Copies of this chain bind each other. A is one copy, B any other.
């Protein structure tokens, strides 16, 4: 890039990208304003021209993460649109893979580090879009008799809670080895989802 100029030109995005890099490499505790600034090649106070405080940067990184999650889920939905049962499983797996690929990003997105997400409308929009996607898929699964009829928002919340709770517990190492020895994650996820379906899930 151009380090010669006094003005960076695209510092805001560079800071977010640098933050994502740090998250990929280390822990969320290593994600500091000063490290992000250093990585972007600017002084330790430069971020304050673009972010009010540490939390604002974290919210921006989080928002990008939610965008990426929505995109991934949507791609999965498109790919398996013809088969709602398979799509249900694949969407769950996409969600889980998204979390496991970059656990620190997922942790930043969901572990309450960003206190008041109402201050960051991007976050709210992205999460609502994601929930709407899950709900639509739940309705499609209802229509083919895979999931029981009823309020689709409650059903969607059940699915999201089930998958989200599983991946949280999994990443925390809370899931006993007895279960993990049953096979790969996919098999466990199918077994979990089978608890809410009306008929067996065929793969």
Chain A residues packing against B (C-beta within 8 Å): 27, 103, 107, 110-112, 115, 117-118, 127-128, 131, 148, 151, 153-155, 157-158, 160-166, 168-169, 171-176, 178-179, 182, 188, 191-192, 195-196
Contacts and interface: CB of A to CB of B under 8 A. Distances in A.
**Which of A27, A155, A179 is the most central at the interface, judged by chain B CB atoms within 10 Å of its CB?**
A179
A162 B148 CA distance: 17
A68 B182 CA distance: 30
A180 to B, nearest CB: 10
A169 B164 contact: yes
Nearest to A117: B173
Contacts of A151: 182, 191
Contacts of A110: 168, 172, 174
Copies in the complex: 2
A166 B161 CA distance: 5
B117 A191 contact: no
The 5 lowest CB-CB distance pairs between A and B, nearest first, are: A165-B165, A161-B165, A164-B165, A161-B166, A111-B111
B111 A192 contact: no
B160 A192 contact: no
